[in-house]
Structure 1
Amino acid sequence: MSIVTLRQEYHRRICQEVIRIRQDKTKNLEYPNAADSGNKNSIRIAWGMVERLGCSKNYAGVSEQTIGGRFEKITKDFLEAAFELLHHLRPGRWVYSTTQTAISGFDQYEHLGYLEKIIKPDKALASALGTDYIVKPDIIVGRQPVTDEEINQFTEVIGAGEPYAALTSLREMNYKTNRPILHASISCKWTIRSDRSQNTRTEALNLIRNRKGPLPHIVAVTGEPLPTRIAALALGTGDLDCVYHFALDELKESISELDNQDQMDMLQILIEGRRLRDISDLPFDLAI
Structure 2
Amino acid sequence: MPAPFAASLCGFRSKNGQVTANPNTSDANDPGSVELGQALFSELGVPSEKMVGKDAGARMEEAIQQHLQPLRPDLAICRSRSALEFEQYAHLRVFPEYVSKHREAAPSLEQLQKIADQLPASVATSHLKKGLAKATAEFAEQDRMSARLKLYMPEESLLKLDLTCASVDEGRESFLHLGLSSKWSLRTDRAQDCVSQGSKLASQRRGPMPHYAVITMEPRPAMLKIIADQSGSVDYVYHLDLPALIRAMKRVKSGKPANWSPGLTFDRLLKQGRIRDYDELVSAVQAIPDRANSTIPQGAITEAEEAAGGSEEQ
Task: Compute the TM-score of the two structures, normalised by the length of structure 2.
Answer: 0.68
Counterpart in the other structure of 1:103: 83
Counterpart in the other structure of 2:163: 139
| Aligned with residue 54 of structure 1, among 35, 45, 49 | 45
Instruction: Check the 8 A contact 1:135/1:206 in 2, yes or no.
Output: no
Instruction: Check the 8 A contact 1:24/1:30 in 2, yes or no.
Output: no
The change in CA–CA distance for 1:125 and 1:227 in structure 2 (over 3 A counts) is farther
* SS of residue matched to 2:225: helix
The change in CA–CA distance for 1:128 and 1:201 in structure 2 (over 3 A counts) is farther
Give 1:8 shift: 5.7
Unaligned ranges ≥5, structure 2: 102-145, 289-314
Distance 1:201 1:140 in 2: 17
Asked if residue 210 in structure 1 is aligned to residue 236 in structure 2, the reply is: no
Distance 1:126 1:204 in 2: 26
Give 1:95 shift: 0.8
Asked if residue 9 in structure 1 is aligned to residue 1 in structure 2, the reply is: no
Counterpart in the other structure of 1:39: 30
Structural mapping, 1:95-244, within 5 Å: 95-98=76-79, 100-120=80-100, 125=149, 128-145=152-169, 177-244=171-238
Counterpart in the other structure of 1:80: 69
C-alpha root-mean-square deviation of aligned residues, in Å? Answer: 2.5
Give 1:58 shift: 2.5
Instruction: Check the 8 A contact 1:119/1:125 in 2, yes or no.
Output: no
Distance 2:252 2:177 in 1: 39
Asked if residue 94 in structure 1 is aligned to residue 75 in structure 2, the reply is: yes
Structure (1 or 2) with the greater helix fraction: 2
Counterpart in the other structure of 2:59: 70
The change in CA–CA distance for 1:75 and 1:128 in structure 2 (over 3 A counts) is farther
Instruction: Check the 8 A contact 1:227/1:267 in 2, yes or no.
Output: yes
Identity of aligned residues (%): 23
The change in CA–CA distance for 1:8 and 1:278 in structure 2 (over 3 A counts) is closer
- CA deviation string 1:143-172 (max 9, x = no partner): 134xxxxxxxxxxxxxxxxxxxxxxxxxx6
Instruction: Check the 8 A contact 1:49/1:250 in 2, yes or no.
Output: yes
* SS of residue matched to 1:10: coil
Task: Compute the TM-score of the two structures, normalised by the length of structure 1.
Answer: 0.73
Larger radius of gyration: 2
* SS of residue matched to 2:249: helix
Distance 1:123 1:190 in 2: 43
Give 1:285 shift: 3.2
Tell me which amino acid in the other structure corresponds to 1:141: C
Give 1:136 shift: 1.3
Distance 2:215 2:4 in 1: 17
Distance 1:208 1:247 in 2: 28
Distance 1:123 1:68 in 2: 42
- CA deviation string 1:214-259 (max 9, x = no partner): 1100100011111111101110211111111111111111111112
The change in CA–CA distance for 1:70 and 1:128 in structure 2 (over 3 A counts) is farther
The change in CA–CA distance for 1:284 and 1:269 in structure 2 (over 3 A counts) is same
Tell me which amino acid in the other structure corresponds to 1:109: Y
Unaligned ranges ≥5, structure 1: 85-91, 146-171
Name which of structure 1's ranges 71-80 and 226-235 shifts more when overlaid on structure 2: 71-80
Tell me which amino acid in the other structure corresponds to 2:50: N
